[in-house]
Structure 1
Amino acid sequence: MRYVTIRAAQLLCLAAGLFVARSLAAQVPDTLLTLAGARSLLRQGSPDYRAALAAADAAGEEVWSAWGSLLPTATLQASFGRNEFTTRTFVDPIGVSQEVDPPVTDVSKSVYQSLVFNWSVFEGGRQFFDIGAANARARAADLAAVARRVQLESQLETQYFEALKQQELARLARDLLAARRRDLEITQARFRIAAVAQTDVLQAEIQVGQQQLAALRAELAAEAARRELSKLVGLEEEAAYELRDTALVFDPSQLRRDELIVQARRSNPELARLDANIDAQSRSLWSARGSWLPNVSLSFSLSRSERLRREDSMFKWDPRNTGQNFSLSLSWPLFNGFEKKWRTGQASARLQEARHNKVAGLLEVEKEVRNAYDALFAGYQSLRLQARNVELARESVRLQTERYRIGAATYIELQNATTQLTQAEQGLIEARYEFMKSFAQLQGAVGRPIAVPQ
């Protein structure tokens, strides 16, 4: 039931992703790619995620093989034979080889048909433990696919906000370029009335050229971020779409680190996969121990056969001689060159490895939660400081601009204030989206969405 539920959810995600993909395939310039739409596209287009689902399907098929070991096997056999032998010589009673003239040719034909049933009744209990191990491996493969999806979605959210950040930085660079051009016009107008020196005009032209380079670099960085996002969700690079700013800044003080760690232990799919792997290895150990016990098997067969004459057809489907056979066999391999000890020791070592991997996984998840939690708090504090810096820098630019217009400030003083504002605005944009990237990483470490405090 769990396997069917997971597959049904995957089909729903596939349908939603295809709807968004068709919209993007039209390449309409104003197509909007939301974060939810990007997730749907990732679930149906990511090769990493599709590979994880294929591995889960393969593990699910192993369960059928394990259950089949409990059932008897049925084999239908049919053989048709023709043998022709020609005698040209013989040895007479006194030991002399003589020729037969004319040669004697003998033809024999036979037909044999059988239906055989074999049933391994008891193999030390290995069939039952193999069924449990196969189910555990299938469950681990399903959880591995879920864990891969959670990991990819965390990467997707991180890259989505990275693309938004680069988009905003490119917009800021364009706005700053327009502001530099306005400053150049003002400086040129003041130069014409001899209010400033020609060096101020040259400095303004240099500022315009430098900002043009900065705007070009920002555009290239934004395009690179979008291409990385397109690759992650499986879109062609030339697909045109717009990103929506869904960054919601909140005060993370209501989040409790210890509670998040507890949630991660319960809901992180990677930890659940490690638990399923421990279960599978434990059952495999019991299966290996079953090799020390005897085996019991049953066999039953029905057969028909007949030797045919020369003139009879070789393909006879109703031979007249019939037979039945029933056997009960008991075998107990007492010694096979330490193979049983090797198998049991190997299974035991794999179980210990799985348990150690679970401990390592717990430590890794706790570390990721703590790091993301600290980064979220640091990002929020940085965001507040950068917002305050932007307010102060804007006021400084306003004052310096007025002073420059009336000749009370030099162009260098105005540019210093403008540079401070540019750095503050860039810092604010970076702090805002770094905060959201930290939140995405925190959700990925926990393994489930986290309710945003109101």
Structure 2
Amino acid sequence: MIRTLLFIGLAAVATQASAQVAPRDSTAQTSLTIEQAIELARRNNPELQQTLNNRIGAQAAVRSAYGALLPSADAALNVQRQQGGQQIFSGTSLGASSDVRQSSYQIGLNYRLNSATLITPSLQRANRDAVEADINGATEILRSNVSQQYLTELRAEATADLQDSLVVAAQQELVLAQAREIVGSGTQLDVQRADVALGLQKVQALQARNQVEIEKLRLFQLMGTPQPANVKLVSQFTVTPLNLNLDQLIASAHDQNPSVVALRSRQHVADLNVSREKGEYSPTLSISTGFGGYTYGYTNSNFPVQQAAAQLDAARTSCIRTEEVRAALNLSNQLAACNAMAFTATDAAVIRDNNSKFPFNFTKSPRSISATFSLPIFDGFAREQRLQEAMASRSDARYGVRAKELALTADVTAAYLTLTTAEKTVALQEQNAAKAKQELKLVQDRYRIGATTFVDLTEARATYERAESDRISAIYDYHKAFAALESAVGHPLR
């Protein structure tokens, strides 16, 4: 009677152990859906941000191509000061006794036009479209990677939950083995085996929880953000019957997959590049014009006044001598006019005013305009080389598009077949897991009443663990296969 009561008490303890769950952090959890994870990755993933930066260069190239259709302009301002003194040039003494100040400005306009200049804007627009397609492709790849990693973490979480439940089951089996030993229907060997099995199961549960944290870290690495404490992935995925048409999926992939769209854009760029290189055989029109001004003056404003006065005095003396000779010969002369030549204060003021224009009171320079019409004839076959390289790149781009279309057909077909197989596998694994669970319950009941051995119980539990683990793997393999199909098609399918 005492043994019976003790057995009942230990069975109650086993029931209590089976109701326990693995301890969890009681801190408030932060939930994360797969949509939130994808959106955060689009905003923060460093590799995607690097790809997005290519848009800046592409837009600048388009702006530069249109800018080439407009004249180029440049401006120059020059200021110079030269020390006064004598300089010898070709045996002649040149220079002045006063420092000289000079300034000038020049504004030039240049325009160059040929067929290559006209094609370049279209080429750069096509290149910009190709960059946008690359960005869309990188975004889709990131979405697929985040989805796959999200599913991987959920799979690890489900596996960890399974291991936790098996720990509880192992605790229950240990209590039952102890109860059977007490009532005399079990052995110490069964207790030791149950104790070892519990220890091994705890190790597996610990490793499974560690794997959950690792998969979370990898997910947040893809998202490009620090992992918050106690985050919980909350999106739920169900296995639903497929309603997809393979031919439609292949056609959609050929039309919308970002990778093939980017390659077609690159092909268009290659076509335009060939046209631009052919344009190098066309003539080029170049037009140049501009306007400017200058100033020139002495730092000593009295120097040009004295120089002008000396020159006028020398001219008056020369004039008087010449006219006196004519007067001596009784010829008509202008001796009176020569004697009247004099340097006045007004003349000095005008000279000083003209000398004070430095630095910005410019005197305009004569304007000019030139036009050149050039036709390239021979440049050492450099143009031919560039044209051949452009044509080879165009051929490579076309083959690249064709290869990608063939690859998409194979990838979509393979992903579709894998998904179809995964759907059937889920149904079979759910049946296997249900049968294994029933078998485990039956063996546990038989072990409680002493109708079977602990070895049979251990084998039944191992069979259930494999079946349940395979069921979890089948479910998440299905969802990963669906994500792979979406990646191959190039857009979400649900």
- TM-score strictly above 0.5: yes
Distance change in 2, residues 1:113/1:410 (3 Å): same
2:274 to 285, 294, 297: 285
2:19 alignment counterpart: none
- Between the aligned partners of 1:170 and 1:116, the Cα distance in structure 2 is 76
2:116 matches 1:117: no
Is the 2:102–2:358 contact (alpha carbons within 8 Å) kept by the matching residues of 1? no
Structure 1 runs of 4+ with >6 Å offset: 88-93
Gaps of 5+ in 2: 1-25, 302-354
1:150 to 119, 132, 140: 140
2:492 alignment counterpart: 449
2:186 matches 1:196: yes
What one-letter code is carried by the residue in structure 1 that aligns with 2:493?
I
Is the 2:69–2:117 contact (alpha carbons within 8 Å) kept by the matching residues of 1? yes
2:71 matches 1:81: no
The residue correspondences of 1:5-404 to structure 2 (distance < 5 A) are 29-84=28-83, 86-87=85-86, 105=97, 107-120=99-112, 122-123=113-114, 125-252=115-242, 254-310=243-299, 311=301, 312=355, 315-404=358-447
- Between the aligned partners of 1:415 and 1:90, the Cα distance in structure 2 is 113
Distance change in 2, residues 1:92/1:64 (3 Å): closer
Identity %: 26
SS in 1 for 2:376: coil
Q: Provide, for residues 137-183 of structure 1, a one-character-per-residue CA deviation record: whole Å limited to 9, x for no partner.
A: 11111111110010010011110010000001001101100110011
Is the 1:81–1:314 contact (alpha carbons within 8 Å) kept by the matching residues of 2? no
The structure with the largest alpha-carbon Rg is 2
Is the 1:110–1:314 contact (alpha carbons within 8 Å) kept by the matching residues of 2? no
- Between the aligned partners of 2:267 and 2:91, the Cα distance in structure 1 is 78
- Between the aligned partners of 2:27 and 2:286, the Cα distance in structure 1 is 68
SS in 1 for 2:78: strand
Gaps of 5+ in 1: 1-26, 94-98
1:423 to 459, 466, 473: 466
What one-letter code is carried by the residue in structure 1 that aligns with 2:180?
R
- Between the aligned partners of 1:92 and 1:49, the Cα distance in structure 2 is 73
Is the 2:98–2:298 contact (alpha carbons within 8 Å) kept by the matching residues of 1? no
- Between the aligned partners of 1:80 and 1:90, the Cα distance in structure 2 is 24
Kindly state the Cα deviation for residue 313 of structure 1 after the two structures are TM-superposed.
5.3
- Between the aligned partners of 1:344 and 1:194, the Cα distance in structure 2 is 95
Provide the aligned length of Structure 1 versus Structure 2: 415
Is the 1:28–1:241 contact (alpha carbons within 8 Å) kept by the matching residues of 2? no
What one-letter code is carried by the residue in structure 1 that aligns with 2:251?
V
- Between the aligned partners of 1:307 and 1:250, the Cα distance in structure 2 is 91
Kindly state the Cα deviation for residue 85 of structure 1 after the two structures are TM-superposed.
5.1
Q: TM-score scaled to structure 2, two decimals? A: 0.80
- Between the aligned partners of 2:282 and 2:87, the Cα distance in structure 1 is 59
Distance change in 2, residues 1:275/1:119 (3 Å): same
2:449 alignment counterpart: 406
What one-letter code is carried by the residue in structure 2 that aligns with 1:233?
M
SS in 2 for 1:376: helix
- Between the aligned partners of 1:268 and 1:91, the Cα distance in structure 2 is 78
1:96 alignment counterpart: none
Kindly state the Cα deviation for residue 78 of structure 1 after the two structures are TM-superposed.
2.0
SS in 2 for 1:381: helix
RMSD of aligned Cα (Å): 2.3
Q: Provide, for residues 301-332 of structure 1, a one-character-per-residue CA deviation record: whole Å limited to 9, x for no partner.
A: 11222433453458421222431101111111
Q: Provide, for residues 194-228 of structure 1, a one-character-per-residue CA deviation record: whole Å limited to 9, x for no partner.
A: 11121111111111011011111111111111111
Kindly state the Cα deviation for residue 92 of structure 1 after the two structures are TM-superposed.
9.5
Q: Provide, for residues 340-397 of structure 1, a one-character-per-residue CA deviation record: whole Å limited to 9, x for no partner.
A: 1111111111111111111122122222212211221121111111100011111111
SS in 2 for 1:74: strand
Which deviates more from structure 2 when the two are superposed, residues 79-88 or residues 193-202?
Answer: 79-88
1:11 alignment counterpart: none
What one-letter code is carried by the residue in structure 1 that aligns with 2:277?
A
SS in 2 for 1:82: strand
Q: TM-score scaled to structure 1, two decimals? A: 0.87
